[in-house]
Amino acid sequence: EIHEPEEVSVWFREGSSCCQETLARNQRFTETPVNMPGADKETDLSERIESFLSELKRCGSGAGSLRGSAETARETTALLRRITAQARWGNAGELMEIIRKEGRRMTAAQPSETTVGNMIRRVLKIIREEYARSRGSSEETDQQESLHKLLTSGGSSEDNFRQHFTHLKANVIEAINELLTELEGTTDNISMQALEHIHSNEVIMTIGRSRTVEAFLKDAARKRKFHVIVAECAPFCQGHEMATSLCKEDIETTVIPDAAIFAVMSRVNKVIIGTQTVLANGGLRAVNGTHTLALAAKHHSTPLIVCAPMFKLSPQFPNEEDTFHKFVSPHEVLPFTEGEILSKVNAHCPVFDYVPPELITLFISNIGGNAPSYIYRLMSELYHPEDHEL
Amino acid sequence: MADSVGRQSDSINHATGKINRLELFKRKELTKEEKQRLRKEKKQHKKNKKDDRGPPEKEKEKEKASVPAPSKPATQSPAHKAAPVPVNASASESPVAAEKPAKSKAELRAERRARQDSERASKQGKKEGGQQSTSSKPKATPNELQPVVKRLPDHVQVDDPVALKKLAKKLERQQVRQINIVMLCLLSDCCPLTDDGFIQVFSEITLHIPVTVIHPSIVRLGLQYSQGIIAGSNARSVALLHAFKQVIQDYSTPPNEELSRDLVNKLSPYISFLSQCRPLSASMGNAIKYIKKEISNIPSQCKEEEAKRILQECIDSYINEKIILASEAISKYAIEKISDGDVILVYGCSSLVNHILCEAFEKQRKFRVIVVDSRPRLEGREALRRLVKKGIRCTYVLISALSYILPEVSKVFLGAHALLANGYVMSRVGTSQIALVAKAYNVPVLVCCETYKFCERVQTDSFVSNELDDPDDLIVTRNGKTHLENWQTFKSLGLLNLVYDVTPPDFVDLVITDLGMIPCTSVPVVLRVKNVDQ
């Protein structure tokens, strides 16, 4: 039995001292080495899960991700592989139950970090596929629900996954390894397409900081000469880091404040942005200010290109009001030094923006370029519909 | 009689291209407007002709020699910034002539003669056309329906080194010290980029002329402008007018000079100085035009004290009418548009919009306000303080959170810096974004602007003409790390801090002015009506 640490909902800004204290207390609970004689693989596994959860809770404060989504995805997948290897399960159904349970805890720890949920769904789909292949059935082909299937088969999918196969574990682990390799190569795959889209003497606009876009632009800069305008994206100003990193590769960069986005847009040829999540309808959940950027690009008929790897594709829809927006401390917006007016004023600091799919021209992902209207199809290939709700 | 004879012989001469003495005779009969127009055309012609001639003092000299026209005061320039008209023929010529490099007199004379001949030939042709149009329309006002060749204002031509040299010489003539002009050459093919990247410092011609010829209240005003202590269109205009009142008070007419001409000439170097400290706003330009007109309308037999009193009253009435009473009228109209339960969005700190909201609150309207702010100026905090002090319920966000907050909003009130003649609204940078997103969410956008801010310029995007602010304001320290601290050491990195932007008229639903509530596209109508009145 593991002593469950107190769940402290962290909603203060990362740097405030009282918050640090609470977190330190939390950490002490998790890092206590459980030196039981004959330390089980299970306890080791649970420890790792707990530490992963606490890291998720800590780093997702929206203060420009302390680690990128790619890392999170990789760590999640590695953790799931470990669970597959070390947890006790007899058949595919039990394994899926375990993964689902852990998955629910992980997504609850940081609801805005959707890559965790996406990876879990991918692994679940892998398990289904491997199971189906082991059974040798033709179920690989008709994974989707259709009215016809509902009528004819009805409820037969429930008692699947109870059969035991000896090689299932090895197959699943091998498939997860493949997934990991794919994850490692996503940024390179996206950057390889850069030269098709960026030409000489173009002016490209971007907002905030995205590692994918950074790699994309740097790859194009090796052969072409162009100019980049970075909107700094207050209040966290991640745009500044992006600009310094780009200009070190001798890319001509200009930093503008958010208010000048529309003013400058008349001179821009393309807008290339990254995003936090790609939603199921082809819309985006991106850093705040992106919707304004997209509207300005639409007004000037400038193409808006989104560089997003496939692991950011999430089966969520944007209508869920309570889970869509995330807020951080309004101290960023109206600091405590303003004193007397603080008590009489509401200040908001949302982190994300919703960008509807009509404003997007192209998605560039590791499997190539797609229109926003195609996203639903890609999603059905990656995730099984029953896994959309963990 | 002589006129008709002259016209006939002139037509013959135009055919043959020879100079006739009768043409000189006819010149004296030109009206004041025609002379003004001729002078402008000649200037434009000269500017087009000479590419790499000497400094403009030389041409001024020749102009004096060739045109025996009476030296009119510089009140003819329609927009102050548009004409480096010879300021004061007698006074400033002598010190300037002394510092020119010596050229042999014969060469100068030869050049002068050649230029005179070509000028006269071209002027004949232009005068023909001009004469016909003026004879057919006896009451042609100076602004409309004439082939006015507008001279580009100096601040638009900052990327042309020749124009900059001319500006430097003009300032030297007026004994105003020039401040470095920094310009960002962004994406212009014609403009050469230096090795050190995008920020190109032009015209490092700092002239070491003492600034003691400038009145101290003007010096103080210039400093307040450049430091940003006085900011905001109305505040700057009012401060300018008060400073001019002081100047007029301290002014004394030198002997053998008329107040109406000399005072205007005295004001020109002050205006150049102020525009060096910070480029003039449209409202200030209109105020200056008004003052110059009033000064030149002072009858010559008026005594000095009397004239001064008249001018002070004029300035006071201008401030009262155009700014204070106008804001009362605008509030009255605007309050009709505010209903109970409204959520009103405002951007930055506009004195007029704050005034409207405070008045509406006093009239017991129930509403709440969302103040949107943007880096680096963060002017919204000032507006927030004023509104909260009144007791209005406020919310505060940054402009990047606009898409989040806009679904709650029922109306947007914006202030304006100027309204351009093609219906575009020139205002603080970020205003166009607010209008764009409000349009996308179908929220009505109302712009509040006094009529004295309407100006004749046209502009279609925010790049062709704008003011640049200090780029170091963009640097921010967060969590102890300043990423852009040494941005100047990076060759490829630039920071762009624009001050103004233009909003297209299709984003704006209504403009509330002291003349009433008009659509954005009616601005040129208002300008025309104002000109006819004057």
Q: What is the pLDDT of residues A174-232, one digit of tens each?
A: 999 999 999 999 999 999 999 999 999 999 999 999 999 999 999 999 999 999 999 98
Q: Percent of chain A scored above 70 by pLDDT?
A: 81
The answer, yes or no, to whether residue B428 has pLDDT greater than 80, is yes
Alpha helices in B251-350 (DSSP H): 259-277, 282-296, 304-318, 326-337
Of the candidates A193, A235, A253, the one whose C-alpha atom is nearest the C-alpha of residue A335 is A235
Model-level ipTM above the cut of 0.85: no
Asked if B461 has any chain A CB less than 8 Å from its own CB, the reply is yes
Would you say B94 and B288 are in contact if contact means Cβ atoms under 8 Å apart? no
Would you say B268 and B74 are in contact if contact means Cβ atoms under 8 Å apart? yes
Would you say B380 and B348 are in contact if contact means Cβ atoms under 8 Å apart? yes
Q: B156-170, B293-307, B378-392, B433-447: which has the minimum mean pLDDT?
A: B156-170
Q: A70-79, A128-137, A308-317, A380-389: which has the minimum mean pLDDT?
A: A128-137
Q: How far from chain centre, in Å, is Cα B388?
A: 35
Asked if A335 has any chain B CB less than 8 Å from its own CB, the reply is no
Q: State the residue for tokens 């009489």.
A: A344
Cβ-proximal residues to B183 (8 Å cutoff; 6+ apart), any chain: B158, B159, B200, B202, B468
Best of A225, A229, A240 to mutate (most B CBs within 10 Å, chain B):
A240
User: Which chain A residues are closer than 8 Å to B397 by Cβ?
Assistant: 333, 347-349
Torsion of CA A120, A122, A127, A132, to 10 degrees: 150
Between CA B67 and CA B62 the distance in angstroms is 8
Nearest Cβ partner for B395 among A240, A292, A345: A345
Beta bridge partners of A231: A207, A256
SS3 A272: strand
Would you say B159 and B259 are in contact if contact means Cβ atoms under 8 Å apart? no
Between CA B412 and CA B219 the distance in angstroms is 38
Both tokens of residue A127?
A: 């398990």
pTM for this prediction: 0.74
Between CA B61 and CA B112 the distance in angstroms is 9
Q: What pLDDT does B358 receive?
A: 95
Q: What pLDDT does B447 receive?
A: 96
Average per-residue pLDDT in chain A? 83
- Please report which confidence band the pLDDT of residue B175 belongs to, taking 50, 70 and 90 as the band edges: low
Q: State the residue for tokens 């194009």.
A: A220
Q: What pLDDT does B414 receive?
A: 96
What stretch of H or E contains A196? helix A194-197
Between CA A377 and CA A283 the distance in angstroms is 14
Of the candidates A76, A170, A157, the one whose C-alpha atom is nearest the C-alpha of residue A130 is A170
Asked if A65 has any chain B CB less than 8 Å from its own CB, the reply is no
SS3 B13: helix
For the stretch A307-350, pLDDT in tens is 999 999 999 888 766 667 888 888 888 888 877 888 889 999 99
For the stretch B218-274, pLDDT in tens is 989 998 998 888 888 999 999 999 999 999 998 888 888 888 888 888 888 899 999
Both tokens of residue B294?
A: 């009033």
Q: What pLDDT does B202 receive?
A: 31
Q: Percent of chain B scored above 70 by pLDDT?
A: 66
Interface of A with B in 13-52 (CB under 8 A): 15
- Please report which confidence band the pLDDT of residue A64 belongs to, taking 50, 70 and 90 as the band edges: very low
Torsion of CA B62, B65, B71, B76, to 10 degrees: -40
User: Which chain A residues are closer than 8 Å to B507 by Cβ?
Assistant: none
Q: A295-304, A349-358, A366-375, B139-148: which has the minimum mean pLDDT?
A: B139-148
- Please report which confidence band the pLDDT of residue B390 belongs to, taking 50, 70 and 90 as the band edges: very high
How many other CB atoms are there within 10 angstroms of residue A32's CB atom?
Answer: 11
User: Which chain A residues are closer than 8 Å to B186 by Cβ?
Assistant: 254, 267
Q: Percent of chain A scored above 90 by pLDDT?
A: 48
Would you say B361 and B393 are in contact if contact means Cβ atoms under 8 Å apart? no
User: Which chain A residues are closer than 8 Å to B492 by Cβ?
Assistant: 246-247, 250-253
The CA–CA distances, whole Å, from B38 to B30, B35, B44, B113 equal: 10, 5, 10, 19
Chain-chain contact of B385 with A255 (C-beta, under 8 angstroms): no
Average per-residue pLDDT in chain B? 75
Q: Are strands B411-415 and B342-347 parallel, antiparallel or unpaired?
A: parallel
Of the candidates A184, A374, A345, the one whose C-alpha atom is nearest the C-alpha of residue B385 is A345
Q: How far from chain centre, in Å, is Cα B104?
A: 40
The answer, yes or no, to whether residue A269 has pLDDT greater than 60, is yes
Interface of A with B in 230-259 (CB under 8 A): 232-237, 240-241, 243-244, 246-248, 250-259
Between CA B37 and CA B32 the distance in angstroms is 9
- Please report which confidence band the pLDDT of residue A373 belongs to, taking 50, 70 and 90 as the band edges: very high
Instruction: Let me know how long chain A is.
Output: 390
Q: A117-131, B10-24, B331-345, B414-428: which has the minimum mean pLDDT?
A: B10-24
Residue type for A296, please? Answer: A
